[in-house]
Amino acid sequence: MVKTIQLGSRLRYPITITKLYKEPNQPIKKKEALFQYSFKWKRTVGDNIRGETWEAEETTYADWSSPSDGELKSWKIRVGQEISRDQDCMVVKESCSHDVQFGGLCAICGKDMTEVNWAAESRDMDRAPINMVHDQTHLTVSETQAQKTENALQRRLLQHRKLSLVVDLDQTIIHACIDPTVGEWQKDPSNPNYPSVRNVKSFQLDDGPRGVANNCWYYIKMRPGLEDFLKKISTMYELHVYTMGTRAYAQNVARIVDPDKKLFGNRVISRDENGNMYAKSLQRLFPVSTKMVVIIDDRADVWPRNRPNLIKVSPYDFFKGIGDINSGFLPKQQGLLTPSAAATTNGGLARIAPAPSPDKEDSTTMEPPLEKALEEQEKTLEKQIKDRPLQALQEQQDKQDEAAERASATPENGNTESTTPPPPHHRHQVLQDDDRELAFLENHLTALHKFFFQAYEQNRLSQPSSSPSSLDTQSIPDVGSILTTLKAQALSGCKIVLSGIVPIGMDVYRSEIGLQVASFGAELRSSVTRDVTHLVVSSQRPRTKKVRQAIRYLPKIKIVNQDWLAACFSEWRVVEEGPYSIEGLEDAQKKLNEKIQDAEATETVSDADDTDSGNAPPGKKRILRLKSPPRVRFATAASTGNGEDEDEDEEDSDSGGDDEGEDEDMDEELEAFKPTDADGQLSPIDGLKTFNWGSADEELAEFLESGSDDDEEEEEEEEEDEDDDEDGDNVNCEDDEEAPAQATTNITTTSSSYEQLLAAQGTAPSTKRKADDEEEEESHKRRKSLLGPGPSSLRNELKDEDVEAPTAEMEAQAAQDNQDAHDADDLDKEFEELDEEALEADFLAMDDGDGDEAQGQPVDGDGTGNGGVDENG
């Protein structure tokens, strides 16, 4: 290993070479003097005390010592040469390049690499910085050695027509839990879960967690079809295990999955060797080139640097509610596609199933320091052993079954119940083993393998220099880019809008799901327009504003739940939408169409009024619209007794980034069949004259005393909103419900909630893009300008002017309010009479009808009575 050595930066340049001690081809040793040089410098001489000092130039001679062992090949300097800066000085054939080091020792020459001395500028340790061995952290290699090893690996793989596949364990190919319930079920053939848990393997760890969880059994369920999958895949891929579990855990699981060590061999890497508690990196195993490496993992966020090589699989969740027992260290997961209730077969069970504990969803938590993470991990494990979530689940299931049975049994049995023992009722099992992910995964991996080697052959043929038989590492295509193109075909042509899936305040385009949608070639849209093909709705809250918008285009836009997206992600194609579509939308559409026709019929009439209202103070309408919707709609939904279209607009009206700009759309669409609010008979000012502001003040005072308006509002909501199932477990959407809900409570609070609303919405525009950008901005601007002098000052002014005669403007405003209230009440009545669809109400309410309804609502609730509204109604 010939190496050119430099003089180094520490010398006092300029220097003059005065003598060479060594001839070429002589052996040299570290720290041995090789040549002598001189340099000139200034020294202060004379009498310091008297101040008679001057600088004298001195010449000093020094030796230059060898920084390495070996043989001197040639000098790059000569005697008498003056050197002004750092340059090459000699060529040395080193006796050892210290390419492989183990625990600070050179593994080749056995010298201590940690030694530091004056002769060398860099430490020998730094020569081998790369740690690329699976099961050791102390063994490091140099770049050249790494390159060599990896080239050899690539050659061998090419020869065998294989790629490397890095496999994650937890929730990808297995699911583990330590709930002792599983062990009990295994021993009890009468248990409904017995068939499911029969094949669950178990082991104990010596170095497992301390405390309660010490010596616990780990129960490992292999993903269905795993054995076949691995067998087939291992003919095309060399398999590696990369897990965030401990080494002992990884090895035990590997032993279960691969008892003969034929698949994984010793290619197992765990968090003990990973060197990073929070992220995985392909560079840890393949430091030079990841061109031939594919990853399968259930989490994309732990592979920040290797996304192109990643195939994200849907997490395998066999032991319901357990999650990943080794995820304590990982950053909290966000934006999962949690399967809908329907997908978990046992009806209501999924709702009871403990969603990943709330702290898991806390997206803002900083990554905990290691000790804390360890502690946390232990705690969760302990909790699992103590709480036995599976047992609890089964008990719940049993209870449900029992209840169902009783319900069906009692009418038949009548009074015979006491005489005959109840038949052994059929118990449903909690654990379902119906995962099909691996079959799809196998197809994807097979296709990827095929395309990779096609590309490789093509590259090779196009390179004239290489002989066809030789293995050519130059023409290796990048499997990451092949994977990317393959995936991009999957959903190409789809234009997808998400609703209620991405948490509020998060940029859809940067969310996990958004990235995935984009990576599969679909176009992600932020609002519903005519050319959108799919609207993906969270099945827990399937009545968002976007849904209502989409209903208009129904046959063209397919409205599906998130399971459809998940299915597409795992199958890499546009899955048949049928089973995933949201029910009951057809009716809604029919009704909507009727409405539209009606509205069109009356449009000619309303046109004139439109222009009228256009002249009204511009702030008014918008503000009212903003604070309005929920009340009227709840009222109507309840009054019609038709929960079908009971909507959750409040959740959606500002649900994060993706909903921005919707308001604007909505407005334009609604313009057409806006209620003719001022139908000419009533002067807009009339209402104000009768409005009792004093009572409003009282109400306000009372309201403020009663503490947090949110709470109250929430209570109200819970009472009224019966169909709104499980708000609680839907962590994502709670916030957005609150802001508008507040807005409805009271005109004074409204002003503050505008600001909230604005704040919520104001975050979005910066991240907006595409078509609705301009639209969006415009609407934003408009809203701002409207609000400028608007609501915050409004109330105070009104208070002051309670006694005095209202100014013209005020009058106009208040009149409009009352007019609105009037309209809203009219609406209510109408609905009661006609049993109208709530849908209609939305559209009306969306506009300006309900501003005062909102104002009146709390009053109705606490019975103080509001003259303005009542009188107008």
Residues with catalytic roles = 168, 170
CB of 114 to other proteins, least distance (A): 7
Q: Tell me whether residue 157 or residue 635 sits nearer to other proteins (CB atom).
A: 157
CB of 230 to other proteins, least distance (A): 14
Q: Tell me whether residue 85 or residue 156 sits nearer to other proteins (CB atom).
A: 156
Q: Tell me whether residue 75 or residue 286 sits nearer to other proteins (CB atom).
A: 286
Q: Which residues bind other proteins (CB under 8 A)?
A: 99-100, 102-112, 114, 133-136, 138-139, 141, 145, 149, 152-153, 156, 160, 260-262, 265-266
Amino acid at 825: D
Q: Tell me whether residue 114 or residue 683 sits nearer to other proteins (CB atom).
A: 114
CB of 102 to other proteins, least distance (A): 4
CB of 2 to other proteins, least distance (A): 18
How far, in Å, CA of 873 to CA of 867, rounded? 10
CB of 108 to other proteins, least distance (A): 5
How far, in Å, CA of 854 to CA of 360, rounded? 36
Sheet holding 105-106, edge to edge: 105-106, 100-102, 139-141
Q: Tell me whether residue 62 or residue 100 sits nearer to other proteins (CB atom).
A: 100
Cβ burial 605-644 (10 Å sphere, 16+ → b, else e): ebeebeeebeebeebbbbbbbbbbbbbbbbbbbbbbebeb
Q: Tell me whether residue 133 or residue 596 sits nearer to other proteins (CB atom).
A: 133
How far, in Å, CA of 816 to CA of 822, rounded? 10
How far, in Å, CA of 538 to CA of 498, rounded? 8
CB of 132 to other proteins, least distance (A): 8
C-alpha atoms less than 13 angstroms from C-alpha of 61 in its C-beta half-sphere: 7
DSSP string, 745-791: H-HHHHHHHHHHHHHHHHTSGGG--STHHHHHHHHHHHHHHHHTTSH
Cα 137 to its chain centre, rounded Å, is 31
Q: Tell me whether residue 33 or residue 108 sits nearer to other proteins (CB atom).
A: 108
How far, in Å, CA of 383 to CA of 212, rounded? 9
- When computed from its CA atoms, the radius of gyration of the chain, rounded to whole angstroms, is 37
How far, in Å, CA of 627 to CA of 649, rounded? 12
Strands 495-499 and 534-537 turn out to be parallel
Residue with tokens 């080091």: 101
Neighbours of 579 (CB within 10 A): 13
Strands 201-204 and 163-167 turn out to be unpaired
Cβ neighbours of residue 704 under 8 Å, at least 6 residues apart?
A: none
How far, in Å, CA of 60 to CA of 41, rounded? 8
Cβ neighbours of residue 404 under 8 Å, at least 6 residues apart?
A: none
CB of 103 to other proteins, least distance (A): 3
Sheet holding 201-204, edge to edge: 174-177, 217-222, 201-204
Query: In the chain, how long is the greatest CA-to-CA distance?
Result: 126
Neighbours of 603 (CB within 10 A): 15
CB of 149 to other proteins, least distance (A): 5
Q: Tell me whether residue 133 or residue 409 sits nearer to other proteins (CB atom).
A: 133
CB of 95 to other proteins, least distance (A): 12
Name the nearest CA neighbour of 805 among 688, 683, 698: 688
Phi/psi for 455 (5° steps) reads: -60, -40
* 479-490 vs 437-462: helix crossing angle, rounded to 10: 130
CB of 258 to other proteins, least distance (A): 10
Decide if 445 contacts 165 (C-beta within 8 A): yes
Q: Which helix (H) or strand (E) segment is 151 a member of?
A: helix 143-159
Number of separate helices (H) and strands (E) present in the chain: 32, 23
Q: Tell me whether residue 135 or residue 729 sits nearer to other proteins (CB atom).
A: 135
CB of 502 to other proteins, least distance (A): 44
Name the nearest CA neighbour of 226 among 249, 199, 248, 257: 257
Q: Tell me whether residue 100 or residue 731 sits nearer to other proteins (CB atom).
A: 100
Decide if 6 contacts 89 (C-beta within 8 A): yes
Q: Tell me whether residue 112 or residue 668 sits nearer to other proteins (CB atom).
A: 112
Name the nearest CA neighbour of 540 among 569, 499, 504: 499
